[in-house]
Amino acid sequence: MKIDLSSIIGIALGFGMIGLGLILAAGGDMGLLMALYINQPASFALTVGGSIGAVFMSTPLERVQRLAKVLMRYAFTDSKNTAYSELIAEMTDYATEARRNGVLALDARTEEIEDSFIKTGIQLAVDGTAPDKIEEILSQEKASMEQRHEDNQGVLLKWGEMAPAYGMIGTLVGLVAMLANMSDPSTIGPSMAVALITTMYGSMVANMICIPLASKLQARTAEEVTRKQMIIDAILSIQNGDNPRTVEQKLLTYVEPTLREQLAAAQSDK
Amino acid sequence: MKIDLSSIIGIALGFGMIGLGLILAAGGDMGLLMALYINQPASFALTVGGSIGAVFMSTPLERVQRLAKVLMRYAFTDSKNTAYSELIAEMTDYATEARRNGVLALDARTEEIEDSFIKTGIQLAVDGTAPDKIEEILSQEKASMEQRHEDNQGVLLKWGEMAPAYGMIGTLVGLVAMLANMSDPSTIGPSMAVALITTMYGSMVANMICIPLASKLQARTAEEVTRKQMIIDAILSIQNGDNPRTVEQKLLTYVEPTLREQLAAAQSDK
Amino acid sequence: MKIDLSSIIGIALGFGMIGLGLILAAGGDMGLLMALYINQPASFALTVGGSIGAVFMSTPLERVQRLAKVLMRYAFTDSKNTAYSELIAEMTDYATEARRNGVLALDARTEEIEDSFIKTGIQLAVDGTAPDKIEEILSQEKASMEQRHEDNQGVLLKWGEMAPAYGMIGTLVGLVAMLANMSDPSTIGPSMAVALITTMYGSMVANMICIPLASKLQARTAEEVTRKQMIIDAILSIQNGDNPRTVEQKLLTYVEPTLREQLAAAQSDK
Amino acid sequence: MKIDLSSIIGIALGFGMIGLGLILAAGGDMGLLMALYINQPASFALTVGGSIGAVFMSTPLERVQRLAKVLMRYAFTDSKNTAYSELIAEMTDYATEARRNGVLALDARTEEIEDSFIKTGIQLAVDGTAPDKIEEILSQEKASMEQRHEDNQGVLLKWGEMAPAYGMIGTLVGLVAMLANMSDPSTIGPSMAVALITTMYGSMVANMICIPLASKLQARTAEEVTRKQMIIDAILSIQNGDNPRTVEQKLLTYVEPTLREQLAAAQSDK
Amino acid sequence: MKIDLSSIIGIALGFGMIGLGLILAAGGDMGLLMALYINQPASFALTVGGSIGAVFMSTPLERVQRLAKVLMRYAFTDSKNTAYSELIAEMTDYATEARRNGVLALDARTEEIEDSFIKTGIQLAVDGTAPDKIEEILSQEKASMEQRHEDNQGVLLKWGEMAPAYGMIGTLVGLVAMLANMSDPSTIGPSMAVALITTMYGSMVANMICIPLASKLQARTAEEVTRKQMIIDAILSIQNGDNPRTVEQKLLTYVEPTLREQLAAAQSDK
């Protein structure tokens, strides 16, 4: 598993720039920075805690639990293109085997298949299941996977929706307290600053964490759906006894032209 | 019926954190807290009452009435996964019976079936109704259920849309009164505080009650739709005389891989 | 025709609470209330007149004219459930007649049918039109009805979108005039109050009139679409010579379980 | 071609009320009105020019050019209902001809047909093209037309999205300049007034021009799509040798019940 | 390749007007303009850098990389209509060849075909692939292309969503620092000006760069999808041995009536 480069760049840049902004706003005084922006436990509790509470109210418990597992996998994903070229090579390999020695010959190889989706598909083909049944079962599994991933992204998106809302509620709470007691004008500015901190926290949670993570998960899901669709196409084609070259060509329609030419070139080198 | 844990966590966290925020804003003075934020009957009436009025204007009466019933059920829902494994066991059991003694043998068991959707489906299969008719009738019932649930969620979402709007109208009403009479500057702050309270109430109703509850109901509906679809698939498969193992495998494509492996393991232990 | 209870509750509550808010904001002084909030003809003209102008620009004239007729009908609608149970009884009655004396026997009864949609459908069945033609014609009429209703709701939704926009334009116009001439500080407050009134009017038109009415119309349209779909199903089933009991059962899948049980119980009492 | 009444009412009311608002805000002083609200060339250039620039960046040139032509046609549209009744009469006329003298008899009449869509359809029918081919070709042309119209509306909607954005950018530019130089308090008000003018212009462009015009175009497109669908239905029915009465009845399902009765009555008068 | 005129006009107008606004706001003093609006490296870093970071967090790396390539192509696109007429001429030419000498005669011409999509299609037709297979393969490639383009636009739209969010976070950071330290009133204005600059930058990035570019890419993708669909239609028609005139007529249904008449006229001149 390769670490996902764009996440590293993104976190460094996104958090670094905001950090820089905080340092400059505090005039480089780290103590002031801490006091003004970070050492605000009540604002933090209200915005982060309150919005997490709203997420729990919004969502069945399993989805929240599953999210942690999903996020771990996201941070260490292989690059998509490598995976695609490996997948095409693997499926073409099975097609060659099936063409030479019959589909049943794949039975001996199911043990070594790591991906459980490919394994299920090959086994169904080996068992002689009707093509439309194979497609039905694998498509249902693909759709279930997509639904589960959307549920997981939904938890993040709900947090990203709730955090600014709780931030705004916190700011309103602070403003009301401040406005009700304006006897000492010198406290108005600092009180309003504290009130605004919750809006700032809410916006940061949403735009620095929730929305970017949900978008990345969405992109990963789309890749996984495409991958599963490629596998379904390949297995149906293999079962149909298609030429390995035909199988490969079908799968290549899913990838972008430049990669397609590279793969076609690599293929002809063999 | 098990109590839904995530709702309890959510309510405790969501309301607790806002409560903490109010206490801190009032400097721990409970009398002040009450006076400032809670003992505002006019703001409360305008925001909550007014927005509930808009909901009644927006929605046929039956939907509002039905919501109470739906909300009761939501707070005490079984965990989804348990329900799924039980459902799969139950349907596999019927498949075994039908395989051994014919579909008609299920007639004797329809009495004991609690779920009216399963009951209807089994009865249709026992009556020898054509598969496409069974699918049509059960799918129509599933679709009607989904529509009714969406209508119920719609009541909450409409309230969640109207509450901030009435909160804002209330704030504008208050601001206009304040701005028209600024002869005594010392009253400006408190007047504006009171004006802002309606916006705060509106945002709280929407983000602490309506949107989280509607989201939870949405998640529950999605689970129920999946459950009904699994039942439809199982009954068509049972009527078709499929192997109980095939029925089980089909239903397992709906659940997530980890649960699937647990269930498969439990099955092989038997 | 029964008066729609939820509209009465909604209007009483929605307008009553805002009225209460206005009275409290004016300190119970009705003269001040009128002067501050209601006797603002210019703001009223700009917000209401201007946004109605934008609606006319947005929409063909017929749609605006048709809306009045549609709104009258909305305020005096029968409760949905009663209508459903009556419809099921009526269609089952025709099915019984057709089963006993043949579909042609229904010809004698078409005169007494009030609902023109049912009448057309029965006549088509009596004329021996092919089932798929009947479905095509009735579905087309259902779709046209849905489209026309959506157009009507669109007029209200457009007004609900335009009123706050014109309110905001009015506020900007007022603010610019006020800011350009701040020589006498004592006029700033009242001038700003007047400027804000247009925003308040815009929000009231949208949230107290347009959005609730459009939502209610939407709900009524959905009921009407379901009703027409039930009629189509029933007529096709009647033409097909189905058992009246089958016709009834099909229609019952459209209604909610509790009502279904009541109807089934009432049926078995007969 | 009749002038579209609702556009005239809309423009008179929408612009008139805003004009009234401006006059009242300026205290009836036309010189002040011009100076304050209209004689602001820089604000006008930035909001209108800038947002038009963004539209050009957003959109291929042809779409912008085509919009002018489309807008001209919109301002002088016939009323929809008249057009529908004329269309039904025309198509029923062709059906009568085809029924009496065969479809080929329509060949002689294609010369006199003004509408190129009807002409193409009749010619295809006369040429003996297969019904599904006719439907495919005419539906493709209908879809292309719909797509082009949506592209045109898209230009207006993009301008309606960009104008308030450029208005806000202009206001921020003005506010920054004002805030950076607050040495003379007496200039703050007027400077802020000037800054707000761009927001006002942006909102006016969007809500008084772009959104209403795009909505009207959308309504016109929907009418045109319905019209073309009616023509497709009629031509397929004519080619099929249907009774002229059947053709008329089919087309009548597209129009609203009241108009339908008028037309049916007019028909029986003949 | 012709340079896209509307982009040039758009950039000149959009950036020129904003530039004019800046110059006027700074009173024509370029030093002040630089100091106030442009020489703000911290605000620039926070808004642009931070939002780009969020884009990297949101998106797999390949999509970000691919965007540069896509943007280059966008700036130098041929006008759509020219391309359409050339395409129709080219496809009609192949149809004539196939009609005269058989589909196999096209084999000799595949070498000279530049467009790889047409090439693939012609080759499939020459190889005698079944029509539904050809349609499946080409449609899959069209869909993959559309998906990739949407992914690219998604990067721009995400940046356009994130830039104003980071701008607002920056403004909140600045406001909090300003409010916490209001001892010297003369610094309040300039501090707030600096705080607002990030909101201004965020809005500029979104509305002057991201949204217009994404819209233009969207329009280009729609044209490309239509083009590919026209090619699919043409190749299936050519393989079917259709008359070149029929092929041309089919393709002409995709273009607008005025262009269609020009092309038809040009055709009859030949």
Query: Tens digit of pLDDT for each residue in D25-48?
Result: 888 889 999 998 999 988 999 999
User: Which subunits have 3 or more CB–CB pairs within 8 Å of chain A?
Assistant: B, E
**Element (DSSP H or E) covering residue B217:** helix B211-239
Identify all chain D residues contacting E24, using CB atoms and an 8 Å cutoff: 42
Closest CA–CA distance from residue A256 to any residue of chain B (Å): 30
- pLDDT for the residue numbered D74: 67
* Subunit contact A6:E170, Cβ cutoff 8 A: no
Average pLDDT, chain A: 87
Mean pLDDT within D132-154: 91
Contact C85, C230 (CB under 8 A): no
* Subunit contact C61:D196, Cβ cutoff 8 A: no
- Whether A36 shows a pLDDT value over 70: the answer reads yes
Q: At what angle do helices D80-101 and D257-269 cross, to 10 degrees?
A: 50
Report pLDDT digits (tens) over E12-35.
999 999 999 999 888 888 999 999
Identify all chain E residues contacting D158, using CB atoms and an 8 Å cutoff: 215
Of A29-33, A61-65, C83-87, C265-269, the one with minimum mean pLDDT is C265-269
Which of B17, B145, B217 lies closest to A60 in space, CA to CA? B217
Query: Which pLDDT band holds residue B68 (cuts at 50, 70, 90)?
Result: confident
Q: Inspect the structure and tell me whether chains B and E have 3 or more CB pairs less than 8 Å apart.
A: no
Query: Which pLDDT band holds residue B249 (cuts at 50, 70, 90)?
Result: confident
Q: Which residue has the higher pLDDT, D76 or E163?
A: E163
3-state secondary structure D187-219: HHHHHHHHHHHHHHHHHHHHHHHHHHHHHHHHH
Highest averaged pLDDT of the listed ranges A176-185, C157-166, D189-198 = C157-166
Most E CBs within 10 A among D176, D191, D197, D201, hence the mutation to make, goes to D176
A129: CB partners within 8 A, 6+ apart: A137
Q: Inspect the structure and tell me whether chains B and A have 3 or more CB pairs less than 8 Å apart.
A: yes
Question: What span, in angstroms and rounded, lies between the C-alpha atoms of C66 and C61?
Answer: 9
Report pLDDT digits (tens) over A170-221.
999 999 999 988 888 888 888 899 999 999 999 999 999 999 999 988 988 8
Closest CA–CA distance from residue C124 to any residue of chain D (Å): 12
Closest CA–CA distance from residue B34 to any residue of chain C (Å): 20
- Whether D79 shows a pLDDT value over 60: the answer reads no
Contact D177, D191 (CB under 8 A): yes
Which of D214, D24, D205, D15 lies closest to C50 in space, CA to CA? D15
Q: Inspect the structure and tell me whether chains A and D have 3 or more CB pairs less than 8 Å apart.
A: no
Mean pLDDT within B102-119: 88
- Whether C243 shows a pLDDT value over 70: the answer reads yes
Identify all chain C residues contacting B120, using CB atoms and an 8 Å cutoff: none
Provide the percentage of residues in chain D whose pLDDT is more than 70: 93
Residue of chain A whose Cα is closest to the Cα of E164: A207
Mean pLDDT within A86-103: 91
Cα pseudo-dihedral E206, E210, E216, E221, rounded to 10: -130
Q: Which residue has the higher pLDDT, D213 or D3?
A: D213
Question: What span, in angstroms and rounded, lies between the C-alpha atoms of E32 and E29?
Answer: 5
Question: What span, in angstroms and rounded, lies between the C-alpha atoms of B143 and B158?
Answer: 22
Residue of chain C whose Cα is closest to the Cα of D76: C60
- DSSP assignment of chain C equals ----HHHHHHHHHHHHHHHHHHHHHTTT-HHHHIIIII--HHHHIIIIIHHHHHHHHHS-HHHHHHHHHHHHHHHTPPPHHHHHHHHHHHHHHHHHHHHHH-GGGGGGGGGG---HHHHHHHHHHHTT--HHHHHHHHHHHHHHHHHHHHHHHHHHHHHHHHHHHHHHHHHHHHHHHHHH--SSGGGHHHHHHHHHHHHHHHHHIIIIIIHHHHHHHHHHHHHHHHHHHHHHHHHHHHHTT--HHHHHHHHHTTS-HHHHHHHHHHHHH-
Q: Report the half-sphere exposure of D114 (CA within 13 A, side-chain side).
A: 3
CA geometry: angle C126, C131, C137, nearest 5 deg: 85
Q: Residue E255: what are its φ and ψ, rounded to 5°?
A: -100, 165
Average pLDDT, chain B: 87
Identify all chain A residues contacting B40, using CB atoms and an 8 Å cutoff: none
* Subunit contact A14:E174, Cβ cutoff 8 A: no
Of A237-246, C132-141, C248-257, E73-82, the one with minimum mean pLDDT is E73-82
User: Residue A20 is nearest to which of E46, E174, E180, comparing CB atoms?
Assistant: E46
Residue of chain B whose Cα is closest to the Cα of C246: B137
Identify all chain A residues contacting B80, using CB atoms and an 8 Å cutoff: 60, 62
Residue of chain A whose Cα is closest to the Cα of B217: A58
Of A40-44, B184-188, D191-195, the one with minimum mean pLDDT is B184-188
Residue of chain C whose Cα is closest to the Cα of D212: C58
Mean pLDDT within D105-133: 89
User: Residue B46 is nearest to which of C18, C193, C257, comparing CB atoms?
Assistant: C18
Closest CA–CA distance from residue D269 to any residue of chain E (Å): 39
* Subunit contact D10:C64, Cβ cutoff 8 A: no
- Whether A28 shows a pLDDT value over 90: the answer reads no
Mean pLDDT within A109-116: 86
* Subunit contact A211:E53, Cβ cutoff 8 A: no
For residue A77, the SS3 value is: coil
Report pLDDT digits (tens) over C74-128.
655 655 555 788 899 999 999 999 999 988 889 988 888 888 899 999 999 998 8
- pLDDT for the residue numbered E63: 85
User: Which subunits have 3 or more CB–CB pairs within 8 Å of chain D?
Assistant: C, E
User: Residue E46 is nearest to which of A18, A206, A213, comparing CB atoms?
Assistant: A18
Identify all chain D residues contacting E21, using CB atoms and an 8 Å cutoff: 42, 45-46, 50, 169-170, 173, 198
Amino acid present at E221: T
Most B CBs within 10 A among C196, C253, C256, hence the mutation to make, goes to C253
- Whether D191 shows a pLDDT value over 60: the answer reads yes
- Whether A73 shows a pLDDT value over 80: the answer reads no
* Subunit contact B181:C189, Cβ cutoff 8 A: yes
- Whether B80 shows a pLDDT value over 70: the answer reads no
Residue of chain A whose Cα is closest to the Cα of E47: A17
Mean pLDDT within D220-249: 91
Query: Which pLDDT band holds residue A76 (cuts at 50, 70, 90)?
Result: low
* Subunit contact C137:D253, Cβ cutoff 8 A: yes
Query: Which pLDDT band holds residue D208 (cuts at 50, 70, 90)?
Result: very high
* Subunit contact E199:D53, Cβ cutoff 8 A: no
Q: Which residue has the higher pLDDT, B267 or D174?
A: D174
pTM of the model: 0.91
Mean pLDDT within B62-78: 74
- Whether D247 shows a pLDDT value over 70: the answer reads yes
- pLDDT for the residue numbered A49: 93
Identify all chain E residues contacting A6, using CB atoms and an 8 Å cutoff: 56-57, 59-61, 64
Cα pseudo-dihedral B109, B113, B118, B119, rounded to 10: 70
Identify all chain A residues contacting B13, using CB atoms and an 8 Å cutoff: 49-50, 52-53, 56
Residue of chain C whose Cα is closest to the Cα of B195: C25
User: Residue C58 is nearest to which of D37, D193, D216, comparing CB atoms?
Assistant: D216
- pLDDT for the residue numbered C209: 93
Q: Which residue has the higher pLDDT, A245 or E260?
A: A245
Residue of chain C whose Cα is closest to the Cα of D82: C62
* Subunit contact B151:C219, Cβ cutoff 8 A: yes
* Subunit contact C253:B177, Cβ cutoff 8 A: no
Q: Inspect the structure and tell me whether chains C and E have 3 or more CB pairs less than 8 Å apart.
A: no
Query: Which pLDDT band holds residue C185 (cuts at 50, 70, 90)?
Result: confident
Identify all chain E residues contacting D39, using CB atoms and an 8 Å cutoff: none
* Subunit contact B199:A137, Cβ cutoff 8 A: no
User: Residue B36 is nearest to which of A63, A168, A180, comparing CB atoms?
Assistant: A180
Query: Which pLDDT band holds residue A97 (cuts at 50, 70, 90)?
Result: very high
Identify all chain E residues contacting A200, using CB atoms and an 8 Å cutoff: 169, 172-173, 176
Which of E43, E72, E263, E56 lies closest to E172 in space, CA to CA? E43
* Subunit contact B10:A58, Cβ cutoff 8 A: yes
* Subunit contact C166:D18, Cβ cutoff 8 A: yes
Q: Which residue has the higher pLDDT, B91 or D262?
A: B91
* Subunit contact C80:B62, Cβ cutoff 8 A: yes
Size of interface A-E (CB pairs under 8 A): 153
Positions in chain E short of pLDDT 70: 1-3, 74-82, 264, 266-270
Q: Inspect the structure and tell me whether chains E and A have 3 or more CB pairs less than 8 Å apart.
A: yes
Report pLDDT digits (tens) over C190-217.
889 999 999 999 999 999 999 999 998 8
**Element (DSSP H or E) covering residue B84:** helix B80-101
Q: Inspect the structure and tell me whether chains C and D have 3 or more CB pairs less than 8 Å apart.
A: yes
- pLDDT for the residue numbered C52: 94
Closest CA–CA distance from residue D222 to any residue of chain E (Å): 18
Closest CA–CA distance from residue D42 to any residue of chain E (Å): 6
Amino acid present at D159: W
- CA atoms B33, B34, B38, B41: torsion sign: negative
Report pLDDT digits (tens) over B174-222.
999 999 888 887 888 888 999 999 999 999 999 999 999 999 889 888 8
A243: CB partners within 8 A, 6+ apart: A95, A99
